[in-house]
Amino acid sequence: MSYSAVSLPLTRSTPRTNRGLRSSVFILLALWFALSFTLGARGVFINLPGTPPLALLAAVVVPIAVFLVAYWTSRSFRNLVLAADVPLLTATQSWRFAGVGFIALNLLGFLPGYFAWPAGLGDMAIGVTAPWVALALTRNPRFATSKPFVAWNIFGIFDFAVLAVGMGAIAPLIFPRLLQTVTPQMMTAAPMRHLPLSMVPSFLVPMFTIFHLIALFQTRRAQVSRPM
């Protein structure tokens, strides 16, 4: 099999199929957005002080878990994932430059530095490089199987899993006294559990993580299909 047969996007479908797929994806994203907004408005993500934010963690983990289960158990869904436009999905990661807002909220006294700075800088790093990565994919499909592309996507997931979710939700429970010493104002990441910030962990984080996973799955398929 020649490499051109597996360049991104890996499979081709008819225009009608593409339109139907786009419509289904847009509807699903709209419903997901509406659900996250409704739950945030009703205060579902708010937890008692000193208790783990289980509802918010579930909002992050469940969509990703559903995606992975569907990918590994449904051939038709897997084909749809492998036909996704990865350069476009990569370009949407540019929105993550808005992570600068976390740093601004820290400087204004609303978010603690141990969360705002790592999460903000990590998101900004992905956001500012996303257009260049997308352009590289468009100019040279072989870039999709390169180590820099894989590393970029892995860092994007690491930024969410460790720098954002880990520092914002888990670290305060494991190291409460240590974090109090570096946050004398006793600021917490509690604002992330209220609208509009709750939309970040309940919608944007799992959505962008899924985009990274789609890219990595397509990369893996291209590497396996590449001729020896």
Q: How confident is the model at residue 187 (pLDDT cuts 50, 70, 90)?
A: low
Residues 118 and 163 sit within 8 Å (Cβ to Cβ): yes
- What is the CB neighbour count within 10 angstroms for residue 223? 12
Tell me the per-residue pLDDT of 34-65, one tens digit each, with 9 for 90 and over: 999 999 999 999 987 767 788 998 999 999 99
Mean pLDDT of 127-155: 96
Tell whether the torsion through CA atoms of 168, 171, 177 and 183 is positive or negative: negative
Mean pLDDT of 198-219: 96
Percent of the chain beyond pLDDT 90?
Answer: 57
Nearest to 82 by CA among 173, 199, 217: 217
Mean pLDDT of 84-100: 95
Round to whole Å and give the CA distance between 111 and 190. Answer: 8
Cα 165–chain centre separation: 11
pLDDT of amino acid 52: 78
List the chain domain ranges: 3-225
Q: How confident is the model at residue 23 (pLDDT cuts 50, 70, 90)?
A: confident
- pTM of the predicted structure, to 2 decimals: 0.85
